[in-house]
Structure 1
Amino acid sequence: MFTGIIEAVGEITALDNLGQDIRLSVQTGKLDMSDVNLGDSIATNGVCLTVVDKGDNYYKADVSQETIKHTGFAHYNRGSKVNLEKAMRPDSRFGGHIVSGHVDGVGTVEQINEHSRYVEIWVKAPDSLAKYIAHKGSITVDGVSLTVNEVKGASFMLWLIPHTLKETVIGHYKVGTQVNLEVDLIARYLERLMLGDKAANPESQVISMRFLAEHGFLK
């Protein structure tokens, strides 16, 4: 489990082919690796990866074909910058929101508008995720816990302060950049809970306008 508060920006130094999978090597920058053990989790651009090898300033993790298919790892190369966060401790400060490290989809940066004290960024999410993105709700973008400031269909807007731009890879975004998205975990559970007893029926897995009307949520 993570909080979405980035601890360091790392750099991919190798992507070694393991058949259909890859072994990722990451130079960890200022991330403190002294308390990281083999088998621990590190969120890498929002993707929960298991450490299989480590040193004072690097770690290696295996990335499956499934992860490559459903995240931005398909677009990463040697030299790509990545946000890093170690798994949260039960006695640490919870500064962001609940982040699982399980990416729901890949979005695309649509607009970047610079203002005097912040940068406005619009991201287009996959249509299937639009229902989980709410005004003033939380969303994870490349592992960063952020607040949604405006929503238009499947597109949403973020305001980024200078500190966030400096301390994360968001400062390197350009129009067209592919980003990992994880929606608010509470929204996922709420959708499931609203199915009630029908959750056990494979044919009742999608909440539709008809479903909401039948159960008194719409008038």
Structure 2
Amino acid sequence: KSLKNSVAPDDICRDYGADTLRVYEMSMGPLDQSRPWATKDVVGAQRFLQRAWRLVVDEESGAVRVTDAQPTEDDLRALHKAIAGVRDDYANLRTNTAGAKLIELTNHLTKAYPAGAPRAVVEPLVVMLAPLAPHIADELWERLGHGESLAHGPFPVADEQWLAQDSIEIPIQVKGKVRSRITVAVDADEETVRAAALADEKIVALLDGEPRKVIVVPGRMVNVVP
């Protein structure tokens, strides 16, 4: 205030909406740490909420665009991973990482379903969004056909069967730099990981015959020494 460069919350609410202000402030970082304000970054929170809105509402017609299609296994893994993480983040007041997980789920659905995502995945997302953006979440909830407010829950519960990973992505380093990535089964042994790394087209192109050494760090990385 002494430098006369303060930003009035009323101005942000007027230009971007109260929910955008809430999402931005709670996504800036841990609540117990000071954080620099950057008005230009408020747009990022606004765009996230716009993507979430478009998952439910068609911008041109105003019609609800969710479908009754069954979610894919990838959808269910993404959903229940988000539910487990967001529940834990909210319980421990980590609103910034909760927001990041909701953005990740929203981006997944936006990319996978340009014509309308399954209701079974969209509705839990809207419920999880409510603590950060209560006004938009309540509006979306009503448009989805629900009469009661989201203020009293219930909050989604993760299904453990969708939290177990079948495969993992492992980076491959050559001369200390990541040159490619491979996807292998979680329980793949070192020999299998080694063989997959050396069969990767990008790695083959970088090698002149057999490498001198291949170091496999289980579940973490593969280091190839030409």
TM above 0.5, one fold?
Answer: no
- Give 1 or 2: higher strand fraction: 1
- Specify the TM-score bucket, using the shorter chain as the normaliser: under 0.3
Please give the TM-score of this superposition, normalised by the length of structure 2: 0.22
- Give 1 or 2: higher helix fraction: 2
Computing the radius of gyration from Cα coordinates, the structure with the larger value is 2
